[in-house]
Structure 1
Amino acid sequence: MGRPNFSGGRRAGHYLVLGFVLVAFGVGAGKVARRPPPAQFRPTGIAPAGQFAPADNVAAANGAHPLLRSDFVSHRKFVRNHAASLVEMRDGKIRVFWYAGTDEGTQDVTIQTAVFDPRAGRWSPERMVASRETTQRALFRYVKKLGNPVAGRASDGSLWLFYVTVSLGGWAGSSITAITSRDDGETWSQARRIVTAPFLNVSTLVKGPSFSYADGTMGLPVSEEFLGKFGELLRLDGSGTVIDKVRLSSGRSCLQPVAMIRDPNRALVLMRYAGAERPRRVISTATDSAGLNWTPPAKSPLSNSDAALAGLVLPDGRILVALNDSESGRQTLSLVVSSDGGASWKTACKVEDQSGAESQGLDDAHYSAAIERLARATNDAVTDAESYSKSVKQVMVSKQGYSFEFSYPSIIRTSRGDFHLVYTWNEAFIKHVQFSQAWLDQWLK
């Protein structure tokens, strides 16, 4: 019997791939031809008139006196709580979103939310916003798992929640889903997919918060993980349609860009470094042309352990960033400040620091005692500290041993002038820290 001739099949496959490429190129070329006119940035904190409630007269809230307080947002035990995102509500309260489930990527993961009342100083009970089942019913497609929620405020005042959905494979098969609310998160629209690619529409993930352009469109930093790891900046119209897309980096080492809008033309973007080359540093790129041109991505002075970061621009132009400022591990979470647009940084304080604890060779008893001590330090009203240590050990120790992790920060400055920081606390809880400008300044003196 003669050898089968596969050449015809190979040629057909090549033609099929070429056809996909040409279709994608044609769609991309059409988008470039229809690229919207450029628009300036709308700096953070400049909101439409009447969008937020006026600041109250509490001295601690407006930064007249040092203020620092902390608490746990999430209270469900023995589940992983991760990837929190903050947004200020119109009445001055703070809403946070995060995902919770048995583990990252499991089918029971849901998007949760809770609300902080600054006047009362306490959090509401958490409730579910989206699940795998509700999302797949709205999208009319199978959803395997959910991930990172990111909250943002559109120019019309509506609240947007972007989150990651995966139908096939791992996170490289992700796409972005969005829901919107006209009543600050009490009720939500049906979920819709954000189409970021001409075909397949996979491999796009979110972590950094959205921002606004002066013309009312929205900017959304994203990262791609298919055949590479690089940052992009999407521009969305009021319906959530991608009307422009800009590549911020290339290669296989940049993830989760965070955009800090300095003024109508200048912005700094910082990205998580996922590469192996030492020194491991946060990757930065900047623009002084409202995003028309970006500087080549380069390593910044900030250390990075392949971990997410968060940041914002202060009223005086300084840049405040929360990050794990280490080349390995996430045992330390710091606040750092730059006065020169990101060229140099000064550590303000370490919000969490357990960098020396693991080197002591903790056993189960000492580790449990350490977690219980940290839980009570978060809020002295905690009466069941033992349940916190049991939860942490079930969620984290089985995978990482007796370690500590404070990661995936989200930070905002409110219309009252105070700051709110949330982050993953030892993979098992979401922790909240509120502080004033005066408290921050005393660390910088």
Structure 2
Amino acid sequence: MKKIALFSTLLILILSSCETYKPQIVQSEQIFQAGQVPFKQCHASTIQPIGKDSLLAAWFGGTHESNPDVVIWSSLYSHGQWQAPVQIADGILNDTRYPTWNPVLYQYPNSDTLSLYYKIGPNPREWKGYVKYSLDKGNSWSASQQLPEGILGPIKNKPLTLANGLLLSPSSTESKEEIWKAHLEISRDHGNSWSVSAISPDTTIQVIQPSVIQHADGRIQVLCRSKENKVMATFSTDQGLTWGPWQATNLLNPNSATDAIRLKNGLLMIVFNPAIAGNDWWEGRTKLHVALSKDGLQWKNVLTLEDGAKNDEYSYPTIVQDAKGLIHITYTWNRKSIKHIVLK
């Protein structure tokens, strides 16, 4: 009876802390300064904890998005500071240079191998998925490998490895007819082979760039950028093999990327642009907010990261929680730098 009472007390304390939890910014900085790097623009960052006190961030950078000189850059955070960016991948294929896109860093649980997924191609309708590996925490990388035909890799946000080892990689496609579809790429052998799980393929809902999270009850949820002016969600009860209908969350979405995770305290956290779409694709990206949720559908704004003016762009956030419980967010800062925020 004492054990039951103790468990009940702990559960009440945990639930109470979730009710009152409000994230606070404990660190805010640009990874590099504009003019101090050999590229004019940058976008689409990713971040990964490395060891106990280090971080590795990556992004694409060049003259401008889709220019053939755009390559993948990375920076290591060590001993309290970000190191100078270094190039870690390019888009040269058979002596032809293509732009690179959307790097995603991911490390399998209990593995020393760090994966860098990214895309090569003239545009998101024709790109192909590639991967590199590092065994020394991102100091050096293997040669690039093209993923199997039809497999793009995680399109923007991190994969999720379930307790049984099943890897769920959130991906999507954009057709030449501008049709958007989301799917999962599933691996049972640490990425050596893949299968594809289409997410509500017959719907007219247009979505890309999923985040994938697992709820405490085992359900899998994806949250997507959309053309619907809302962040869209759907759920799976069989580990991502089949999916329910798309549901609109209460979060606005101006056709801009988001990212979401489940925190160690059980709450869900998302970083998003709180606006609707404008006449041009870049409109609606001047503000960047953080919201919390219990169910993944109803969210509460809890923090403003950016509150900019017209023509500012704060976009493409990525989010991860480290072993100490600190939350790391990176995002595009006016295409001139990548900003790193730490929350507790």
Question: Are 1:296 and 2:251 an aligned pair?
Answer: no
Structure 1 residue 288, shift from structure 2 partner:
2.8
| Cα distance between partner residues in 2 of 1:319 and 1:149 | 23
Deviates more, 1:307-316 or 1:213-222: 213-222
**Matched position secondary structure for 1:151:** strand
CA spacing shift, 1:301–1:252, aligned 2, 3 Å: closer
- Does the aligned pair in 1 maintain the 2:315–2:332 contact within 8 Å? yes
Q: Which has the higher contact order (CA 8 A, sep 6+)?
A: 1
Q: Is the 8 A contact 1:99 1:111 kept in 2?
A: yes
Q: Within the alignment, does 1:73 sit opposite 2:31 as a pair? A: yes
The TM-score, its normalising length taken from structure 1, stands at: 0.65
Which of structures 1 and 2 has the bigger CA Rg?
Answer: 1
Q: Structure 1 residue 108: deviation in Å?
A: 1.1
Q: CA deviation at 1:260?
A: 1.4
CA RMSD of aligned residues (A): 2.3
> 1:183, 1:425 → 2: CA distance?
29
1:306 aligns with 2:255: yes
Tell me by how many angstroms 1:241 deviates. 3.8
**Partner letter of residue 27 of structure 2?**
R
Picking from 206, 209, 222, the partner of 1:253 is 206
Aligned twin of 1:108: 69
C-alpha displacement of 1:126: 1.0
Map of 1:95 onto structure 2: 56
Distance 1:316 1:304 in 2: 26
Aligned to 2:143: 190
Q: Which amino acid in 2 is paired with 1:337?
A: L
Residue in 2 that maps onto 1:222: 171
Q: 1:154 Cα deviation (Å)?
A: 2.0
- Report the TM-score when normalising by structure 2: 0.83
1:252 shift after superposition: 6.4
| Contact persistence 2:327–2:343 (CA under 8 A) | yes
Change (3 A) 1:183 1:204: closer
The residue number in structure 1 matching 2:113 is: 158
Q: 1:69 to 1:314 in 2, by over 3 A?
A: same
Report whether the alignment pairs 1:348 with 2:299.
no
The runs of 5 or more residues in structure 1 that have no matched partner are 1-62, 359-402, 437-445
Distance 1:149 1:348, change over 3 A: same
Alignment size in residue pairs:
309
Change (3 A) 1:343 1:216: closer
Call closer, same or farther: CA 1:290–1:104 in 2, change over 3 Å. Answer: same
- What is the alpha-carbon distance in structure 2 between the residues aligned to residue 171 and residue 254 of structure 1? 14
* Greater helix fraction, Structure 1 or Structure 2: 1
CA drift at 1:157: 3.2
CA distance in 2, matches of 1:271, 1:336: 15
1:425 aligns with 2:327: no
Identity of aligned residues (%): 25
CA drift at 1:291: 1.9
Corresponding residue number in structure 1 for 2:185: 234
